[in-house]
Amino acid sequence: MRIQGWKADLDNLEVSEDWNFAETKEDRVHKIHAYPAKFPAFLTTKAISYARETGLEINTIGDVFCGCGTVAYEAKKANINFWGCDINPVATLIAEVKSSTYKAESIQTMIGEIMEVYDRQLAEKVEVDMSIVLDRIKYWYTDSSIVSLTYLKNSIHEVKPRDGKYKRFFLVAFSNILKASSRWLTKSIKPTIDKNKKEIDIRKAYVKQVKSMMKAFEESSIDNDIKPDINTKNVLKTENDDVQLDLVVTSPPYVTSYEYADLHQLSTVWLDFVRDFRDLRKGTIGSVYDVVDFKKDVNELNSTGEHIVFQLYPKDKARSKSAARYYVDMQKVVGISFDKLNEDGFAVFVIGNTEYKGVRIDNTQHLMESMYAEGFRNLEVIKRKISNKILTPYRDKSGKFTNSSNGRKIYAEEFIVIGKKERA
């Protein structure tokens, strides 16, 4: 729906069937590593088609919350340059691997070498000094799993001592078995211990993961020299980055979402990105740990953000303060996106609303007001259904999807908001 200004009746907006389902099956490369809140890959191709139908020539696509590289991969597949950033080093590691190409013969040779080193350590019963193992790792893993994972990590580093795309490939494979080999409750995004979870065969799981990834890349139809520019950086720190984009396609985090640093804590500590996973909370959009001056934030809010924050305040003061910080940051993100776009370029945001303690959290309306205030025109908003949330519209205390109304309600739709940077 094309709107005048920035206000829209989102409740009565009809679902667009064109943006609901993919015309072709998603490439398996998108599934090489589990990642929460990953939007469907076909939304990128829809955004490209939408922009091209207006006559826009697309040389570079950007994603300011690039996550695990969904847009990066699809841009490369479409033979389009890509620039993106994400504050999470686990995310950008996955994104770099997804947007690279590999030779199956090389992977087969290297996995054989890695497992030879692993088996040698096992046979020699190489001692692992548990006194230097981080407490967070001990919290999530049994001693035997820690030993096996340490052998495996050491093997990867011995076979591939230098950083490069193949080393990153094997580290991503390692990262993707960390949750299964831990005591983390399966299918839960909230950090929850499963006291009854059985240990897995880590060697077997790793080899299976590598083979699955290798097959996914063999099936990939990408054959070009495009090298996506992926940066481990806070989007708010990219104002001076020398990059010009024709199309921005991105999906921001939600204001009441879980702490993303917490969700990726297993990989961040095992891969040595940080010693304390909580260090990654700082700077994350919407983090409760970045609230410094609530009054200043409130003064910078647009009208939609201010309305939501003051509805939240009587219910949960801490959450209202983090919401204010989130909305101020998102207003800055919109400004940064606008500045990076060439004239006549488009920004396509995939975003959803939610609810917290009976308060409607209208992220979409806030985004639309922010875009209009920044200078985007010809705003269009499209509603689409989210299939897994239609069937299980609640989350239980562990964060798992459920159809029980005792859980927290999850909105079963999301919105695509499109704006154009018109010539001055």
394, 234, 259: which is closest to 329 by C-alpha?
234
Mean pLDDT of the chain: 91
Placement of tokens 């054959």 in the chain: 223
Rounded-to-integer distance, Cα 250 and Cα 419, Å:
13
Q: Are the C-beta atoms of residues 128 and 146 closer than 8 Å to each other?
A: yes
Q: Could you tell me the fold of the domain covering 17-89+227-262+276-420?
A: Rossmann fold (3.40.50)
| pLDDT confidence of residue 228 | 97
Q: What is the pLDDT of residue 389?
A: 44
Q: If you write DSSP's letter for every residue of 255-300 in order, what string do you get?
A: TTPPPHHHHTHHHHHHTTS-SSGGGGGTT-TT-GGG---HHHHHHH
Give the integer Cα–Cα distance in Å for 177 and 211.
Answer: 13
- Is residue 263 very low, low, confident or very high in pLDDT (cuts 50, 70, 90)? confident
pLDDT at 392 over 50: no
What b/e readout covers 284-303, taking b as 16+ CB neighbours within 10 angstroms?
A: bbbbeebbeebeebbebbbe
Quick one: pLDDT band at residue 406, thresholds 50, 70, 90?
low
For residue 424, is pLDDT > 70? no
The answer to whether the pTM exceeds 0.85 is yes
Which residue do the tokens 């065969």 mark? 201
Sequence ranges of the domains in the chain? 17-89+227-262+276-420, 104-219
Taking the C-alpha atoms of residue 310 and residue 298, their distance in angstroms, rounded to an integer, is: 9
pLDDT in tens, 337-374: 999 999 999 999 999 998 888 999 999 999 999 999 99
Q: Model confidence over 41-96: pLDDT tens digits?
A: 999 999 999 999 999 999 999 999 999 999 999 999 999 999 999 999 999 999 99
93-97, 192-196, 222-226, 409-413: least confident range: 409-413
Q: Give Cα 300 to chain centroid, integer Å.
A: 27
Q: What CA–CA distance (Å, rounded) separates 344 from 387?
A: 33
Q: What is the average per-residue pLDDT within 309-319?
A: 94
Residue 5's pLDDT band (cuts 50, 70, 90):
confident
